[in-house]
Structure 1
Amino acid sequence: MEEKILIEAKNLKKYFKVGANSQLHAVDGVNFKIRRGTTLGVVGESGCGKSTLGRLLLRLYDVTDGQILYDGTDITKLNAKELKPIRARMQMIFQDPSGSLDPRKSVKELIGEPLKIYKACKNRDEYDARIAEIMETVGLDERYAESFSHELDGGRRQRIGIGRALAMDPEFIICDEPVSALDVSIQAQILNLLMDLQDEKKLTYVFITHDLSVVKHISHEIMVMYLGQCVEYAKTEDLFKNPLHPYTKGLLDAVPIPSLKAKKLSTEVMRGELTSPVDPAPGCRFAARCPYATDACRGRDIPLKEVEPGHFVSCTRF
C-alpha cells in the first residue's frame, strides 16, 4: 500500500517586494507531494529559494499564492491561533546552530523551550524527565544539561537543535542544511542520527542542501530548484542514474561522487550569468546558461512534464 501524502504544495509562490514596483520571485509556482515517513531532498545553488520554501511550509512566511496541504488541511488559510496546534507537529532544524541557539540559555532551557510554549508538561518532574529523554535520544550526555551552547562543539550544538525540534514529538521536520557547517566525520554522525530517528519515529523530512553527495544518502525523492522554480523532480535513484535537465547534469558533473563518474555522464558546462529573479521574463530561467537553449525556451513558461514514471522535468527537449 502506498504511503499517505502528508505534505502537498500546489502552485506555491512567494514574492518579496523590491523597490517601488518590482518583486523578487523567490519561490515561483512549485508543486510537489511528500509521502508520510519519507524524505524529500531539495537541492540547488545558493539563492535558488530552498530555504524560503522551507519557511513557507511552516508558514514562517506568508504565502503569496498557492496552497500548502498538511494532512489534507490547507494551512495557508489558517490564522495564527488556528495554526498553533499544527505547528506543534511541524518543526525546523536550522543550518547554523550557533546562530539559532540563544547563548544566554542552557542546553536544558533550549531543548525545553517548546515544552514551555505549548505547556506540554504538567510539572517540573515531568519537564526534567522529558528533557533527559530527549538528550538521550539525540546522543547528548546529561552532564551537558546546564552547559551553554557556545561551550560545546558544532556537532553537539546541532544535536541540541535536533533535540529542540523533537521536543513536541513532531511528525514533520524541515532540515535546512543541518550538516553544512560541520566536519565530514560529524556530518555522518548527524545524518545517521536523523535517519535512525526517522525509522524509529516515522518522521517526514524536507532536507534542504546544496550538497548532492549528502542528499543522495538521506533522500527518497529529490527536487532540483533553479531561481525559484522546480526544474526536475524524481526518485533519488532515478535522478542520479538518469538526470534529464541540463542544470541537474551540470550539478552532478561538479560533484566528486565516484559512482557517478564511473558512469561517464555527458558533461554539461554551465556558462553565462544568472538570470535575475526580480521580475523575471517568461521562459526557462536556465536558458542563459544552457548549451541547448533555443527560441522555444524563451517567451513562455515551461511546465514540469512527466517523461518517465515519477520523473518530472521542465525542459523543452522533452
Structure 2
Amino acid sequence: MSLTGQPIVEVKNLKKYFHTKRGMLHAVDDVSFSILKGETLGLVGESGCGKSTLGRAMIRLLEATSGEVKFWGEDILKLSSSRMKEMRKKIQIVFQDPYSCLNPRLSVSELISEPLLVNKVFSNSADRIKKVKDLMDTVGLAQRLVNAYPHELDGGRRQRVGIARSLALSPEFIVLDEPVSALDVCIQAQVLNLLNNLQKEFGYTYVFISHNLSVVKHVSDRIAVMYLGSMVELTDYRSIFKDPLHPYTQALLSAIPIAKMDVDRSKRIILEGDVPSPIEPPAGCRFAGRCRYRQERCSIETPELRQIDPGRWVACHYAKELKETV
C-alpha cells in the first residue's frame, strides 16, 4: 500500500501458522499494511481473529511463517540474533496483563532498570537509578513506590511500570497489546491519556490492539479490522465510524452499546452462523457464510484488500456497491 510520507513499519504478506493435531491453524494469513512515523494504528476484531498474534509476529516475539516486516526499510524477520538484539531497543511491547508480565520478586526499581542492565546502557548504578526515577516521573509513578513490589500496586500502577519498562531504551515503535482491557474504566482513561501524552512528547509510533471499539476510536489515527486472520478494512477512524464498508465492520460497530433509551435499536446487525475454523478456512471470502450481502462469487473467489478511495482499503468484492448504499 502507498501512504503519504515514508512509513516506519511496512508489513507485506505476513503469515503465521501453527501446527496442531487437527491441522495447520491460519492465525495470520497474508496481511499487508504500513504505519507512518508518529501515528497510532488501531487493530480490532473478535477474540481469536489474530490481532495479538499479528502484533507479536511483527516484532518477532513469534517467528513468522513467511512475509516481510520492514522497520525503516530493514526486514527484521531476516536479522541475525545479535542484530535483532540491537533492533529490540527501538521496538517494544506493552502486554495486556500488567501483573503476569512483571516478576513478582523484583521491586519497581529493579523491574524498570532490567532493560538497562541487560543492554548495558549505564556503567554505574547512580546513572541507572536516576534514569529509573526519570522514567517513573514520565509515566506518573510516585517515587515513594521505587521499592514496592507488584503485589503492592493496583492495576493502573502495574501497567505504568510496564510502560516505563518499554520506554527505558527510548524506542520508536511500540505494540500495545490490549493495554487497558484488564483495568477499571477510570484507570483506563488515565493510562490512555498517558499514552497519548507520551506520543505527543516523544513522537512514538503505536499499534494499539483492542476489542473495545470505543477505546480504539479515542486513540487511533487509522483503524484496521481483522477477521479470521485476514485484514478486511483499513481507513482513518472518522471514515470507519461514519460509513463502514465491509459487512463485518458494519456488524462490529452496530454492536457497540448505546446508553440511551430513545435510540433506534432496529439497526443492530445480528450475524448468523458460526465463525469458520481457522484450521480449515473456507474457500473464497472467509466472512461469506455470515454475510447478508453474499453472492455466489463470494464463496469461490477470495477478495483482495483493495483501495476504494484514497487511504481506504476494503477486502470485499462489492465494496463499491456497498459504499453507494451507505
Q: TM-score, normalised by structure 2?
A: 0.93
- Deviation readout 1:187-234 (Å, 9 max, x if unpaired): 000000000000000000000000000000000000000010001000
CA distance 1:143–1:85, shift in 2 (3 Å): same
TM-fit CA distance, 1:4: 2.6
Query: Counterpart amino acid of 1:203?
Result: Y
SS at match of 2:275: coil
Choose 83-92 or 276-285, whichever is displaced more.
276-285
SS at match of 1:7: strand
Partner of 2:166: 165
Partner of 2:191: 190
Partner of 2:315: 314
TM-fit CA distance, 1:81: 1.2
Aligned partners of 1:38, 1:109: CA distance in 2, in Å? 31
Partner of 2:257: 256
SS at match of 1:98: coil
Partner of 2:9: 7
TM-fit CA distance, 1:59: 0.6
- Deviation readout 1:116-143 (Å, 9 max, x if unpaired): 1100112111000000000000000011
TM-fit CA distance, 1:267: 3.8
TM-fit CA distance, 1:281: 3.0
2:219 is the alignment partner of 1:227: no
Query: Counterpart amino acid of 1:253?
Result: S
Aligned partners of 1:99, 1:23: CA distance in 2, in Å? 29
TM-fit CA distance, 1:257: 5.3
Aligned partners of 1:72, 1:262: CA distance in 2, in Å? 48
Identity %: 50
2:289 is the alignment partner of 1:279: no
Structure 2 unaligned segments of length 5 or more: list them. Answer: 320-326
CA distance 1:263–1:83, shift in 2 (3 Å): farther
Contact 1:6 1:71 in 2 (8 A): yes
Contact 1:112 1:164 in 2 (8 A): yes
2:47 is the alignment partner of 1:65: no
Contact 1:246 1:268 in 2 (8 A): no
Choose 41-50 or 264-273, whichever is displaced more.
264-273
SS at match of 1:97: coil
Query: Counterpart amino acid of 1:117?
Result: V
Contact 1:13 1:28 in 2 (8 A): yes
Partner of 1:154: 155
Query: Counterpart amino acid of 1:169?
Result: S
TM-fit CA distance, 1:3: 4.1
CA distance 1:7–1:258, shift in 2 (3 Å): farther
TM-fit CA distance, 1:64: 0.7
TM-fit CA distance, 1:269: 2.0
Aligned partners of 2:50, 2:115: CA distance in 1, in Å? 27
Q: TM-score, normalised by structure 1?
A: 0.96
TM-fit CA distance, 1:38: 0.4
CA distance 1:240–1:265, shift in 2 (3 Å): farther
Contact 1:253 1:265 in 2 (8 A): no
Choose 171-180 or 77-86, whichever is displaced more.
77-86
2:16 is the alignment partner of 1:18: no
SS at match of 2:232: strand
- Deviation readout 1:84-126 (Å, 9 max, x if unpaired): 1111101000000111111111011111110011001121110
Aligned partners of 1:4, 1:262: CA distance in 2, in Å? 43
TM-fit CA distance, 1:314: 0.8
TM-fit CA distance, 1:151: 0.7
Report the number of matched residues. Answer: 316
Partner of 2:323: none
CA distance 1:201–1:262, shift in 2 (3 Å): farther
1:40-119 aligned at under 5 Å gives the runs 40-119=41-120
CA distance 1:257–1:214, shift in 2 (3 Å): farther
Aligned partners of 1:238, 1:72: CA distance in 2, in Å? 29
Contact 1:269 1:291 in 2 (8 A): no
SS at match of 1:161: helix
TM-fit CA distance, 1:176: 0.3
Aligned partners of 2:189, 2:88: CA distance in 1, in Å? 29
SS at match of 1:82: helix
TM-fit CA distance, 1:61: 1.0
Partner of 2:31: 30
- Deviation readout 1:32-58 (Å, 9 max, x if unpaired): 000000000000011000000110111
Aligned partners of 2:310, 2:289: CA distance in 1, in Å? 29
Partner of 2:209: 208
Contact 1:69 1:75 in 2 (8 A): yes
